[in-house]
Amino acid sequence: MTTSEHRHTDQTAAADPDVRQKPCPNCHETRSRQIYSVDRIPAHSVLLMPNLETATKYPRGDMRLLFCEACGFLSNSAFDVTLNEYSPDYEETQHFSPRFNQFADELVADLVDRFGMRNKRVLEIGCGKAEFLSRLCEAGDNFGIGVDPAIRPERFSSEARAKMQLIPELYSEEHSDLQADVILCRHTLEHIQPTRDFLDIVRRSIGDRHDVQVCFELPDVRVILEETRFWDVYYEHCSYFSAGSLARLFRDASFDIVDLWRAYNDQYLLLVAKPAELPTQASLTIEDDLEEMSALASAFETHSQKQIAHWRETIGTFYREGRKPVLWGAGSKCVAFLTTAGLEREVEVVVDINPYKAGKFLPATGHPVISPEQLKDYEPGVVVVMNSIYLNEVQEQLDQLGIDAELVGT
């Protein structure tokens, strides 16, 4: 898609006049307003595309981001679930990053030591390649059940494999017979609509057991709105939570929240809960964020166009100066950054440390993905890191490769 074909729509003009009549997928109230709109963005961002033709023909959908005034939840009202495609070619893993592995190991230790997830039967919904589940099984001597259509058993080498059951399917009510002491769900809920219906399935699967622990991890929309990170708004993420909207969802679905906190430089929310007989009442300070979220949603609506224009001009200047800008991180942030800002021409290649992505192409944009080693031959003048938490890690790799390029964080 060329820059001229991409259209970032005016918020007022693109708004659905009946938007306030649409029930929120989280709380079912009809008090939503549109704050952001983008047309024809890739329906998926991390599927491995084998060639340029397949990549450029990949389906697209629209983003109509609504903010619910009743619960603070944000969702894409234009989301079409039929465009979803989760398969072994879905390459979402972040476990090739030392920084991310450090976070994962610290979280595993926290779950085992602070929450007693030891010698348990653990079910992970949306386990990806099961890297985290295997770590939890090893550290806590747990038995793991992983459910995800993207599982690749041939890549699995954990010592805990003998104590794990991997099911390459999308989790649904049909899996309610998979009983567990711990239900884990990391970076999955943001891919689901309607969220309340999904959580009701989880709650029904637990039944009248009150000793089950539920742990969810997902992006915190607060930092996305606060820092106007338009690259963190993309099609496969159809649901966006703050601490308060996440807590309200769980409490209304008859869970009591044990703890709710932010992690990974406040990019992620982590929640541990247990089943309750009836809906529960808010008790944590972090839950009281509705007024703040409403203000942040308004600010994002106001400032998103300026942020997009800023990055379009910045990358455009690098390109015109002949500095060959590349993006580091061939994931969803990268695809959203390129397509929303219309920078398909100004950036020629993207780089990723995941070896399974090298030689593939980005969905819709068709950008080739290269390895860090190949980057040396490309000789970039500027490397834009799509998640600033990895700046130090990336600088170390560039130094090791002898690449003298300016490093820019988003």
Report pLDDT digits (tens) over 18-31.
676 789 999 999 99
Tokens of 149: 């259509």
* DSSP bridge pairs for 268: 219, 263
Mean pLDDT of 364-377: 96
In a domain, 243, yes or no: no
CATH number of the domain that residue 354 is part of: 3.40.50.720
Please state at what angle helix 391-401 crosses helix 98-113, rounded to 10 degrees: 140
Q: Which of 41-45, 224-228, 266-270 has the lowest mean pLDDT?
A: 41-45
pLDDT computed for residue 6 by the predictor: 47
Supply the mean pLDDT for the chain: 93
pLDDT computed for residue 265 by the predictor: 96
In a domain, 124, yes or no: no
Query: Could you give the number of structural domains in the chain?
Result: 1
Three-state DSSP state, 403? coil
Within 20-155, strands assigned E span 32-42, 60-68, 74-76, 121-125, 143-147
In a domain, 405, yes or no: yes
Residue that the structure tokens 């059951």 belong to: 165
In a domain, 138, yes or no: no
Predicted TM-score (pTM) of the model is 0.94
Task: Report the alpha-carbon distance of residue 218 to residue 170 in Å, rounded.
Answer: 18
In a domain, 366, yes or no: yes
Report pLDDT digits (tens) over 85-121.
887 788 888 989 999 999 999 999 999 999 999 999 9
Q: For residue 83, is pLDDT > 50?
A: yes
Q: Which of 18-27, 109-118, 310-319, 375-384 has the lowest mean pLDDT?
A: 18-27
pLDDT classification of 16: cutoffs 50, 70, 90 = low
pLDDT computed for residue 335 by the predictor: 97
Q: For residue 11, is pLDDT > 50?
A: no
In a domain, 10, yes or no: no
Report pLDDT digits (tens) over 198-209.
999 999 999 999
Helices (H), 321-407: 332-341, 372-378, 391-401
pLDDT computed for residue 159 by the predictor: 79
In a domain, 19, yes or no: no
In a domain, 53, yes or no: no
Domain that holds residue 330: 312-409
Report pLDDT digits (tens) over 267-296.
999 999 999 999 999 999 999 999 999 999
Mean pLDDT of 334-341: 97
